[in-house]
């Protein structure tokens, strides 16, 4: 324990706070949407810091940035870390960028201690993880790992019809490096938990063993619009009534799965959406998340049966479409062990856990041994300007990342 290096906590925190000024909001968050001018300025700052730390910089066709510190044996595959620099429209200043700058701090610390690793160390800044400006989320890491093809990735457009390819050229980050296709020895992503578990249990490090699978649905219930004052209750075909019963059923399905269950109706359109008209149509989303694919399959069947039964009972027509499916992710056992050993060596409280959110590491795990490290965030709050982590949490996560990467870079 006494011989292991530690990051420079003050320098790391200063870097986080300086980056947070780019796109900073009055309430203390950031608005740094993917491939905007704010994102360009943040990218330029990361590139400058990485170059000052002695790294070479590569940018691929999706704008993913890779800062490389060479190893003793350049023929060996590298150890990779990083996350994303883009944010939600009114997001927090730690989501994503914490992991990018922690990787940079690892390199700075290795330089401070004149440590030469056998394998190269690389830090990646992934493009458009959030999916706030361009859908879907995690598009660039998805292209990198072959989940999506390059043409699809570059052609995604924002609300104004601007494509990712056009936006990359506009900000000067349309790189010419090929997408993926190279071996990575091990990969780690450090991130805030974005949930309340670690803080509630007073635990410093989350050793992430995998990520929940997801299934997304769009459901339409159709009845009949009618005058709210002249239509008796027993003559109504109220689509919103059907929605309310589906919402209750979906919530019960999630509760029935215990601690790992997640079931949400998060998006609703009501037609005609007038205060004195009985709603004749509703269009809404349902989302399930769980780390077990078999449970997701059970929830799928339950949802379909409930929608049919509710529609029949309320006299409504229905249409149900599954629009997205994302299988549960199991991270690499050896990478998980490296994270856990680092937490033990450093004396940090820790627990194994599943990620409830999707991350670039989930796609990366398809092509490289991968794991994640979580640190708490205050009140579990994220995707919010009030998102906050304490400096000692930030330091702890970066120290665990440092030791885990050193472990893998020496093999």
Q: In 10 A of CB 237, how many CB atoms?
A: 20
Burial class of residue 233, CB neighbours in 10 A (0-12, 13-18, 19+): exposed
Spatial contact of 368 and 188, defined as CB atoms under 8 Å apart: no
**Beta-carbon-side half-sphere exposure of residue 215 (alpha carbons within 13 Å):** 23
Question: CA of 222: how far to CAs of 229, 239, 390, in Å?
Answer: 20, 6, 49
Spatial contact of 80 and 186, defined as CB atoms under 8 Å apart: yes
Sign of CA dihedral 345, 350, 352, 356: negative
Spatial contact of 345 and 205, defined as CB atoms under 8 Å apart: no
84 assigned to a ligand binding site: yes
383 assigned to a ligand binding site: yes
Spatial contact of 149 and 333, defined as CB atoms under 8 Å apart: no
220 assigned to a ligand binding site: no
235 assigned to a ligand binding site: no
318 assigned to a ligand binding site: no
Burial class of residue 333, CB neighbours in 10 A (0-12, 13-18, 19+): exposed
- Please report the DSSP string for 280-334 in residue order: -EEEEEEEEEES-HHHHHHHHHHHHHHHHHHHHHHT-EEEEEEEEEE--EE--HH
Spatial contact of 238 and 383, defined as CB atoms under 8 Å apart: no
Give the residue ranges of the annotated binding site: 84, 95, 130, 191, 383
Give the residue ranges of the annotated binding site for Zn(2+): 84, 95, 130, 191, 383
């Amino acid at each position: 324990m006494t011989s292991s290096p530690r990051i420079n906590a003050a320098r790391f925190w200063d870097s986080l706070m300086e980056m947070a000024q780019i796109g900073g909001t009055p309430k203390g968050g950031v608005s740094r949407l993917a491939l905007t001018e704010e994102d360009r300025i943040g990218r330029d700052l990361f590139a400058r810091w990485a170059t000052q730390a002695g790294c070479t910089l590569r940018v691929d066709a999706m704008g993913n940035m890779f800062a490389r510190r060479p190893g003793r044996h350049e023929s060996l595959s590298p150890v990779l870390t990083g996350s994303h620099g883009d944010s939600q429209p009114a997001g927090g200043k730690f989501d994503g960028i914490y992991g990018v700058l922690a990787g940079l701090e690892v390199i700075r610390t290795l330089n401070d201690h004149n440590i030469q690793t056998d394998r190269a160390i690389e830090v990646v800044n992934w493009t458009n993880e959030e999916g706030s400006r361009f859908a879907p989320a995690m598009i660039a890491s998805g292209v990198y790992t072959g989940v999506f093809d390059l043409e699809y990735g570059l052609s995604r457009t924002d609300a104004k019809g601007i494509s990712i390819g056009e936006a990359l050229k506009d900000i000067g980050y349309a790189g010419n490096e090929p997408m993926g296709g190279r071996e990575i020895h091990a990969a780690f992503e450090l991130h805030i938990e974005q949930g309340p578990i670690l803080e509630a249990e007073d635990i410093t490090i989350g050793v992430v063993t995998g990520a929940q699978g997801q299934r997304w649905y769009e459901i339409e219930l159709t009845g009949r619009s009618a005058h709210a004052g002249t239509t008796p209750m027993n003559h109504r075909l109220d689509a919103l009534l059907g929605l309310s019963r589906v919402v209750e059923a979906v919530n019960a399905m999630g509760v029935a799965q215990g601690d790992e269950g997640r079931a949400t109706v998060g998006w609703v359109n009501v037609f005609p959406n007038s205060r004195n008209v009985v709603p004749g149509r509703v269009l809404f989303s349902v989302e399930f998340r769980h780390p077990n694919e078999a449970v997701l399959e059970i929830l799928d069947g339950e949802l379909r049966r409930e929608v049919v039964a509710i529609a029949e009972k309320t006299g409504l027509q229905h249409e149900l479409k599954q629009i997205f499916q994302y299988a549960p992710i199991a991270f690499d056992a050896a990478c998980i062990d490296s994270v856990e050993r680092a937490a033990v060596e450093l004396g940090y409280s820790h627990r194994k856990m599943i990620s409830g959110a999707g991350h670039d590491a989930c796609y990366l795990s398809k092509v490289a041994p991968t794991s994640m490290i979580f640190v708490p965030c205050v009140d579990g709050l994220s995707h919010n300007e009030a998102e906050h982590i304490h400096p000692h949490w930030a330091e702890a996560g970066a120290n665990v990342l440092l030791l885990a990467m050193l472990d893998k870079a020496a093999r």
